[in-house]
């Protein structure tokens, strides 16, 4: 795992700024740095040594000096590609995975993207073609930001690197603010800065002859469906998941597993132990007291069951809060997923023992693990009936007060099927903008998470409504919330996180499973649970889903009460002119008096103002 950054620019200050840009990513790669310059092109790299520890420092340069590569992530099938390239006459000088990008680009060009499997963000400078080529992995495990401004192209693993480029504007993107308030994260391609964009998962970007072009090289396909049934389906799933895990166990440094006590990470730990043939280190976070649901006892049971070396970090909720002071440093833009707090602390704890961890992210989006899916499917017949062609209901619903019209069933009935589901969560619904946003802010924004969700609904090639819902979350919630949380929280402590459920071959195979193998009635993750029953205690497999849920309501009413009132007061968020002052005061009053639990809304507002106060961006309405 590493940090990458660079530019194409004739600005004379560009090369001088590259060390500072690269140093901004030192947490992603504390072991080494490297630089490359060829005229108007500069590349910077920070390395976390995982494979070929003594070699493979970057940038990696071709023997004829025509190709330079910087790379963040891991290429899991690099050994097979290395053999294929060696058979074609290529000579390797390192034992690492990154060098296959150098020779693979020379051999296959852009078709390289059809060959590689892994989590990655990379940049290739091809001197002969005068082309800078960037790509981001299939599902967006690794981040990649870029900006094209005033004749300069700049890119990096995190926003903080781009902000150190001398001509980078710091103007806020108001659409990004509105999207953040709607769903607690900023969806691709937006970033909080108007000049900076995220490269979407499964996309490439080319800078050549003063022009920028981009395209998609992969997206999930949900058809045709497998004909597998019964034990054969479980066996096939076992083989596929085991293959993904085995590819991710390759490392020349200590490796462990995050185990929450739920099925997803516990199954990864069990299979990884069986495949490796040794006791692995497992890590979990537990909470003292009754304010937060804790799964540390279940995680300990899993550890005993598989025979791992278990490490449990026990904290009180109050001991989690100090991590909030690093929030703005770790996340360069407003990010409201409160589970990042314990994830950051768990990563810090694990880094004392290992350099790489496997995690269970992605299983819910692959196998339909959220209760929301079953609810949406059960409601689909009713909402389709209410919103049928010729029905007056959509017309009538749109004229209801926003607080009524945002009811899940009514809101869905008022929209075509492609716009009924807009991923999770929903904080400040777009229908409530008139109630909460100032008039200037409301008239300055047009983006909605529903617009983004509709794109991914229409992208799905399956007749199954469930598959459409899964694809929306796999393309929005997964990369921009869950994976962003894991990447930033772990890399803040120089810890590499690998996600076996998100190997793109495994994901693509699972996408073609029958919907009934995932969700049926109130049952969820059905096929995955059948596999887990082979490796885990039955009660662990069938435990209700939990997750990291911090006591936000109590924190905002006690420990953070003073900070909240100041941040949202006249000297804080109210002076930004984004949220109506009377709306902020009503939220605070109703929450304090326990009239309504506005914890999530107050939390995302608090995070937003803390970001404004820390970064002081260019901003006006």
**Residues acting as catalytic residues:** 2
* Burial (Cβ within 10 Å: 0-12, 13-18, ≥19) of residue 72: buried
Query: What is the DSSP code (8-state) at residue 574?
Result: G
Reference 283, options 271, 267, 265, 263; nearest CA is 265
Rounded to the nearest 5 percent, the helix, strand and coil shares of the chain are: 45, 15, 35
Among the residues of 41-97, which ranges form H helices?
A: 78-87
Alpha carbon 502 to its chain's center: 11
Interaxial angle between packed helices 263-276 and 296-306, expressed in degrees from 0 to 180 and rounded to the nearest 10: 20
Reference 187, options 443, 438, 424; nearest CA is 424
Q: Which residues contact 306 (CB under 8 A, 6 or more apart)?
A: 269, 270, 273, 282, 535
For residue 287, is it left (φ>0), alpha (ψ between -120 and 50) or beta? Answer: beta
The β-bridge relationship of strands 145-149 and 152-156 is: antiparallel
Alpha carbon 225 to its chain's center: 27
For 170, what's the count of Cα atoms within 13 Å in the CB-facing half-sphere? 15
d(CA 448, CA 462): 24
Question: Are 412 and 379 within 8 A, CB to CB?
Answer: yes
């Amino acid at each position: 795992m590493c940090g990458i950054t660079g530019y194409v620019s004739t600005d004379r200050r560009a090369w001088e700024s590259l060390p500072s840009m690269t140093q901004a990513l030192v947490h992603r790669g504390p072991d080494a740095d490297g630089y490359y310059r060829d005229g108007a092109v500069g590349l910077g790299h920070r390395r976390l040594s995982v494979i070929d520890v003594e070699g493979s420092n970057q940038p990696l340069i071709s023997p004829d000096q025509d190709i330079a590569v910087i790379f963040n992530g891991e290429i899991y099938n690099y050994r097979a590609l290395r053999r294929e390239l060696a058979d074609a006459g290529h000579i390797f000088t390192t034992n690492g995975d990154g060098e296959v990008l150098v020779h693979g680009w020379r051999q296959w060009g852009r078709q390289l993207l059809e060959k590689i499997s892994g989590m990655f963000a990379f940049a290739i400078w091809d001197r002969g073609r005068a082309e800078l080529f960037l790509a981001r992995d299939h599902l967006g495990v690794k981040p990649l930001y870029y900006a094209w401004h005033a004749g300069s192209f700049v890119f990096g693993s995190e926003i903080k690197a781009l902000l150190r480029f001398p001509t980078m504007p710091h103007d806020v993107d108001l659409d990004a603010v509105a999207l953040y308030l709607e769903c607690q994260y900023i969806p691709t391609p937006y970033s909080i800065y108007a000049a900076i964009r995220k490269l979407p998962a499964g996309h490439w970007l080319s800078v050549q002859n003063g022009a920028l072009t981009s395209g998609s090289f992969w997206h999930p396909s949900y058809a045709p469906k497998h004909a597998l049934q019964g034990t054969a389906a479980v066996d096939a799933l076992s083989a596929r998941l085991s293959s993904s895990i085995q590819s991710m166990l390759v490392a020349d440094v200590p490796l462990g597993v995050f185990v929450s006590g739920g099925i997803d990470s516990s199954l990864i730990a069990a299979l990884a132990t069986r495949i490796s043939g040794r006791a692995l280190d497992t890590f979990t976070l537990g909470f003292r007291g009754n304010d937060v649901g804790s799964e540390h006892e279940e995680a300990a049971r899993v550890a005993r069951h598989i025979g791992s070396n278990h490490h449990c970090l026990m904290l009180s909720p109050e001991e989690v809060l100090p991590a909030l002071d690093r929030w703005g440093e770790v996340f360069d833009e407003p990010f409201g997923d409160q589970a990042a707090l314990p994830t950051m602390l768990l990563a810090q704890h694990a880094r004392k023992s290992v350099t790489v961890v496997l995690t269970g992210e992605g299983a819910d989006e692959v196998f339909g693990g959220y209760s929301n899916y079953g609810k949406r499917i059960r409601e689909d017949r009713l909402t389709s009936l209410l919103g049928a062609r010729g029905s007056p209901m959509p017309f009538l619903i749109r004229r209801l007060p926003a607080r009524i019209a945002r009811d899940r069933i009514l809101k869905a009935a008022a929209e075509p099927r492609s716009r009924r589901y807009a991923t999770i969560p929903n904080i400040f619904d777009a229908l409530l903008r008139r109630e909460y946003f100032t008039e200037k802010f409301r008239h300055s924004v047009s983006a909605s998470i529903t617009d983004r969700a509709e794109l991914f609904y229409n992208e799905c090639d399956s007749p199954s409504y469930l598959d459409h819902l899964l694809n929306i979350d796999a393309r929005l919630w997964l990369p921009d919330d869950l994976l962003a949380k894991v990447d930033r929280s772990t890399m803040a402590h120089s810890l590499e996180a690998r996600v076996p459920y998100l190997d793109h071959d495994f994901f693509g195979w699972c996408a073609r499973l029958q919907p009934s193998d995932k969700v049926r009635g109130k049952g969820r993750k059905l096929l995955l649970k059948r596999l887990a029953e082979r490796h885990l205690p039955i009660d662990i497999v069938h435990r209700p889903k939990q997750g990291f849920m911090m006591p936000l309501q109590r924190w905002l009413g006690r420990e953070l009460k003073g900070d909240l009132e100041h941040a949202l007061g006249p000297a804080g968020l109210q002076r930004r002119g984004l949220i109506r002052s009377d709306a902020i005061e009503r939220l605070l009053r109703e929450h304090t008096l326990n009239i309504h639990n506005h914890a999530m809304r107050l939390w995302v507002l608090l995070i937003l103002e803390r970001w404004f106060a820390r970064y002081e961006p260019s901003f006006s309405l």
